[in-house]
Structure 1
């Protein structure tokens, strides 16, 4: 990582413990119930730098036909969501890397498409809960380097990687994860033709197509992460395919041409650029596309996240190492 970025990290590490206190946060979060939480220590939560909504979530995005003109390069990654009652939708990472959450509705299903660059975690949630339909924003806080979301209805805080409320009135509530996957723009477009929809560029001033985390997925240490590193000599920023509490190293899936075990079929196909490599997303190295299906060929909920994040949130998880 660049020296300036390293100095910024060091500064945040020095000031974070003093600010890990609800009394400090209450001026920004007057409606959050800090008496309810599932975390063991407030020091687990750190500032990621931006304030609340400093990374602005997108509400009610607009879409274009996949066959229409746009600035996406063929190998750029998108998160694809396919639900009954609607065309497949592509949410480009070039937008999500700057906004992290998109609140949308497909058919009658309100969803939140989320991407945490620091964990490479891309998960789609059903926004319906027993407490009503929620709308999510970016808190600016991190836990184990993973985005802490918040809902605008109760201002409870949520852990993005697991979809669970960790602070506030809704503590313990879990969001339902929906099947979605990352693939290249060309893979989405070739499969869908003119029937697919792609999210239109937001009407905000961002350097879309650029990666503000240059070199992050080859760095030695994750941003603001002080937890235990993954076992088996796996790099903390190696990509793993998480299905439930199991993790398959992406390199194993790629080298073996896919794997079939534990009731899942994981395939790999070349053509998708890493969004967290070079300064221009489309120049990133090829990390390939993962699809996860069950024995009946149905898409399964999964995540292609960094190894350190899997180990942090599933410390007793099973590592599906090369046979």
Structure 2
């Protein structure tokens, strides 16, 4: 991890925060429209599509999957009228975005390792269907995505257009959640799981070894979270509220602010040991409303919640 961070730091320089410097790489982006200070944009190291998003991936029956360990995290997506699908983090760690269509709905399943943010979006904006790629740039250590149709830039953690034609547009977030593979398989024995991509990547390895026990986030220059919460502590974000995962783990269940959050053990951290399946147990959560329906949420690092929701409500004890 230290070697990776050092190499990325050598490539990531503040001087690159200038639209004139980016235009040759982004000829289709309207840099006259922006919702952010340019100084907040940093190069994460790889260039445009250096982290290649996946399009229309293959799936196999969940019962036929043999690569995944029981505690490995997957993103579960259970859409009405569609067969449940699991997107393994072992693949999303290396690709970060999956453009898919589920039950006729175009979706983007996303994961930013540096923020631990896993969010699924509806890819429709009005009458247009967008497809997304990875810019290779970061803001508050969070992935900046782009759409291939307008080359606008989007903030992954909040689904907001921040540069270009789509500035100010918000993608619709869909309920999805991270859970251990064993939990998905037990609940959905007839479900589907994304097949291993046809790319030369060491799937199952965590290139961010010990990242979630670091003292400070990569290329983050903002303030630390309040209440003495560690920057890389996980929190459950629901709207403008954040519940520390540590609190939920102690309680097991918390019912507040019109939602019920359940925690149970059994999920490996994807950002701990080099072998992703061997990460320490951080548990997993489900967030439901009073009717028992799954609620849009994210399990992200505390610094990221504080950066993108500076007026957010911290649900501490």
Cα distance change on mapping 1:80 and 1:315 into 2, 3 Å:
same
CA contact 2:5–2:218 (8 Å) conserved in 1: no
Aligned residue among 264, 267, 276 for 1:269? 264
Q: Could you tell me which residue of structure 1 aligns to residue 47 of structure 2?
A: 51
Asked if 1:285 is matched to 2:280, the reply is yes
Aligned-pair distance for 1:131?
A: 5.2
1:164·1:174 contact (CA, 8 Å) conserved in 2?
yes
- Aligned pair count reads 317
Which residue of the partner structure matches residue 318 of structure 1? 313
Q: Give the equivalent residue in structure 1 for 2:34.
A: 37
Runs of 4+ with deviation above 4 angstroms: none
Q: Supply the distance in 2 between the matched residues of 1:69 and 1:46 (Cα, whole angstroms).
A: 38
Contact 1:125–1:175 (Cα < 8 Å) also in 2: yes
- Tell me the C-alpha RMSD between the 2 structures: 1.0
Q: Give the TM-score, by structure 2 length.
A: 0.98
- 2:193 maps to 1:190: no
> Once the 2 structures are TM-superposed, how far is the Cα of residue 12 of structure 1 from its aligned partner?
4.5
CA deviation after TM superposition for structure 1 residue 70, in Å: 2.5
Q: Is the 8 A contact 1:9 1:224 kept in 2?
A: no
Q: Please, which runs of 5 or more residues in structure 2 have no aligned partner? A: none
The Cα shift of 1:7 comes to 3.4
Q: TM-score by structure 1 length? A: 0.96
Q: Distance in 2 between matches of 1:263 and 1:146?
A: 28
The offset of 1:69, in angstroms, is 3.3
Report what 1:141 is aligned to.
137
Please say if residues 206 and 275 of structure 2, whose CA atoms lie closer than 8 Å, have aligned partners that are also in contact: yes
Verify: 1:203 aligned to 2:198, yes or no. yes
The equivalent residue for 2:228 is 233
Deviation (angstroms), 1:11: 3.0
Q: Distance in 2 between matches of 1:94 and 1:217?
A: 16
In the alignment, structure 1 segments of 5+ residues that lack a partner are none
**1:18 aligned to which of 15, 19, 33:** 15
1:245-264, aligned counterparts within 5 Å? 245-264=240-259
Quote how far apart the aligned CAs of 1:6 are: 5.0
